[in-house]
Structure 1
Amino acid sequence: MQHAPLIIDIAGTALTSDDRRRLAHPLVGGMILFARNWVGRTQLTALTAQIKRLRPDLLICVDHEGGRVQRFRTDGFTHLPPMRALGQLWMRDAMRAQDAASACGYVLGSELRACGVDLSFAPVLDLDWADAQGGSRSSVIGDRAFHADARVVTMLAKSVAHGLLRAGMAHCGKHFPGHGGVAADSHTELPRDTRALKALLKDDAAPYGWLGSTLAAVMPAHVVYPRVDARPAGFSARWLQAILRQRLGFGGAIITDDLSMKAARHIEGRTVSPTDAVLAALAAGCDMALLCNQSLGNGQVVDDTIDGLARAQLSGQWQPSEASAARRLALLPPIQQAQPWDDLMRDAAYLRALALLP
């Protein structure tokens, strides 16, 4: 098995010769879709089929959670509610909320699978901490979170994951150990959460412990918890190996958040290149490294990062991992050929799930 840790993007709605060259590289194991890669279902299905003809093992990913984080919203895709709506439903009827959460996962997964997408980076496991005014402390998380109670988050996230599994899709809990307690947005600055490890494990990280044996993948936060480690969680061997893997028992894939984000470009006061960020994440225990929005223009950053990782392998600075390779392949759908869209629209289980959405 080839350890192919890079997940990259493409600029347009069909593959160019540069896209084909990059996606065919043995160090590239996945690609991530954005709204700019979308025209409609027919185009998206043709694009994903192009990719699978090039590399059947390539993991096709997207950030598609519901609410404001939903890349495809037209041409029949269901407008899924933000996850907070499920938490609000829980407060009225906990059993119905779990059923609705499973339905959300099923609808989300089946629609994406019908268009050839393998994995959505969902669900969000962050807690919805309140600020002094009673709103969400973290604007970047906000209504993407199910609830402020880690127990509620765990039960609803498990239900969403169950729905995704029924649709033939794995899942990825994020952002470990928790992004909901900081106001800063890691896309534009480096957040710091000054709580002690005991408090973080009791609250924000609790869902990862309760779901440690069932989560398929985890995405760490670009947040520094200085009382635990000076490095952001995604670059911290203590967080990823000592705590997530050993203490919490997680055995699935660890996938970085976007390494082009500002918070991922600063490690212990140093500004690092994308290649250095990838190497630091892999050394800390990540299995795959996500590099977004770098194919725009001439895509030089993508090429430089692929070349930089290849040089690091040749020089012995980085060594591939068979375990990481196996974790990536385990995220691929068990059946590559999904139910076609028109058949899905008549499917009784899908129609039942639509009726259960809040």
Structure 2
Amino acid sequence: MSIGPVMVDVQGLELAAEEREMLQHPAVGGVILFSRNYESVEQLRRLADDIHALREPPLLIAVDQEGGRVQRFRDGFFRLPPVGSIGAAFCNDSRKALRLSREAGWLMASEVLSVGVDLSFAPVLDLDLGISTVIGDRAFDRNPETVTELALAYQRGMHEAGMASVGKHFPGHGGVAADSHHSLPEDERSYADLELQDLIPFERLVRNGLNGIMAAHVLYPHIDTQPAGFSRTWLTGVLRESMGFQGVIFSDDLSMGGAEWAGDYPTRARMALDAGCDMVLVCNQPQYAAQVVESLVAYNDPAANLRLARMHGATSLQRKELTATERWQSAVSLLEQCEAERWLDMDLE
């Protein structure tokens, strides 16, 4: 069985019978976990092992474990600072900030891999232009060169841990005030303006081993009439052809307000796949996820299958073994210097 084009979620701390059946459907290729799926390190490891054991090749298991406001696994994991705090340190001591970023990437990835989860959708490559509150300190900085340097260091740490990197949200969510969770933002800038700002981190990381990209539910009307995540211009023309990106393209969640314009859920999924996505996400709407999966029962993209197969995480130390290592202890000591503000968690239960 190949890795299907749909990533779905599950509702609780263990798999229900109907979820087991769903996850064995040929159109399913992955599972994204949320805070509601986490109670303890031991429980999470059992859940991940259970998901992986369902089929061969195993399903991909993903999470958003950025740090700051967006960290799904908390108690029992190191409380990661928002990467914006690393960016704030860059202007005072760039060498220290680069080390902080590398160790943050390594620590995040090592802890996630230690419980059997394959990947975290990171690093964020958006710019904090002071416009988007949904991005804010999830971004490293407003300066594209600073974001690039810190993101490359973060990616290096992820790769050292054995995790694939997924940059988001292509081609950049930082220039719009609207939150794509609730509506479709429109960015009125020209392609030339985006080339000088938002696209720089994506271009540089593509040339330096970026494994995956998540597309934004943002419309750029001066470039295309379709939002980026549904746009052949952006995903095939710019990302694949102009930038030469060979990795996996993920949609953002098709349940978000920014995707509603495309129609019903099966139509949204087909449009995103036709535009160039390899895998589409449908979260927190199990009935619509089932519709998407059934609509894609005969779907097959051999190239996407090969790309997705490379996203599985490396075999990792178990949690107790990991926390006993010198590098884990050193990384924790270093990152504790970044005092994270207490934000409301950006999670959908």
Q: Give the shorter-chain TM-score range.
A: over 0.9
Tell me which residue corresponds to 2:284: 293
Task: Measure the CA separation in 2 of the matches of 1:116 and 1:22.
Answer: 20
Counterpart residue identity of residue 265, structure 1: E
Tell whether the 8 Å contact from 1:14 to 1:47 is kept in structure 2 after alignment: yes
Q: Deviations over 1:329-352 (max 9, x none)?
A: 1111233xx211111111112112
Counterpart pick for 1:340 among 315, 318, 334: 318
Tell me which residue corresponds to 2:108: 108
Tell me which residue corresponds to 1:80: 80
Counterpart pick for 1:152 among 146, 155, 159: 146
Q: Deviations over 1:9-34 (max 9, x none)?
A: 00111001111011111111100000
Task: Measure the CA separation in 2 of the matches of 1:13 and 1:349.
Answer: 30
Counterpart pick for 2:210 among 215, 218, 222: 215
Q: Tell me the TM-score normalized by structure 2.
A: 0.94
Q: CA deviation at 1:302?
A: 2.0
Q: Deviations over 1:58-99 (max 9, x none)?
A: 10000110000000111x211100011010110111111111
Tell whether the 8 Å contact from 1:170 to 1:331 is kept in structure 2 after alignment: yes
Counterpart residue identity of residue 81, structure 1: P
Counterpart residue identity of residue 73, structure 1: R
Tell whether the 8 Å contact from 1:87 to 1:146 is kept in structure 2 after alignment: yes
Task: Measure the CA separation in 1 of the matches of 2:121 and 2:314.
Answer: 18
Counterpart pick for 1:356 among 307, 328, 334: 334
Tell me which residue corresponds to 2:273: 282
Counterpart residue identity of residue 317, structure 2: Q
Say whether residues 1:142 and 2:136 are aligned partners. Answer: yes
Tell me which residue corresponds to 1:234: 229
Tell whether the 8 Å contact from 1:3 to 1:322 is kept in structure 2 after alignment: no
Q: CA deviation at 1:208?
A: 1.1
Tell whether the 8 Å contact from 2:283 to 2:289 is kept in structure 1 after alignment: no
Say whether residues 1:259 and 2:260 are aligned partners. Answer: no
Say whether residues 1:308 and 2:302 are aligned partners. Answer: no
Task: Measure the CA separation in 1 of the matches of 2:5 and 2:139.
Answer: 28
Task: Measure the CA separation in 1 of the matches of 2:233 and 2:108.
Answer: 34
| Count of aligned positions | 334
Tell whether the 8 Å contact from 2:117 to 2:313 is kept in structure 1 after alignment: no
Task: Measure the CA separation in 2 of the matches of 1:186 and 1:342.
Answer: 39
Q: Where does structure 2 lack aligned partners over 5 or more consecutive residues?
A: 339-349
Tell me which residue corresponds to 1:326: 306
Tell me which residue corresponds to 2:345: none
Tell me which residue corresponds to 1:58: 59
Q: Deviations over 1:108-127 (max 9, x none)?
A: 01111111110000110000
Counterpart residue identity of residue 264, structure 2: S
Tell whether the 8 Å contact from 2:113 to 2:314 is kept in structure 1 after alignment: no
Counterpart residue identity of residue 277, structure 1: R
Q: Deviations over 1:164-186 (max 9, x none)?
A: 11111111100000000000000
Task: Measure the CA separation in 1 of the matches of 2:227 and 2:92.
Answer: 37
> What's the C-alpha RMSD, in Å, of the aligned pairs?
1.1
Using the aligned pairs only, state the percent identity: 44
Task: Measure the CA separation in 1 of the matches of 2:12 and 2:59.
Answer: 18
Task: Measure the CA separation in 2 of the matches of 1:348 and 1:55.
Answer: 36
- 4+ long deviations beyond 2 Å: none
Counterpart pick for 1:250 among 241, 245, 251: 245
Tell me which residue corresponds to 1:316: none
Q: Secondary structure at the match of 1:256?
A: strand
Tell whether the 8 Å contact from 2:170 to 2:216 is kept in structure 1 after alignment: yes
Q: CA deviation at 1:251?
A: 1.1
Task: Measure the CA separation in 2 of the matches of 1:93 and 1:236.
Answer: 40
Counterpart pick for 2:188 among 190, 194, 198: 194
Counterpart residue identity of residue 285, structure 1: G
Task: Measure the CA separation in 1 of the matches of 2:81 and 2:314.
Answer: 27
Q: CA deviation at 1:276?
A: 0.6
Q: Deviations over 1:193-212 (max 9, x none)?
A: 01111111110011111111
Q: Where does structure 1 lack aligned partners over 5 or more consecutive residues?
A: 130-135, 314-318
Q: Secondary structure at the match of 1:30?
A: strand
Counterpart residue identity of residue 11, structure 1: Q
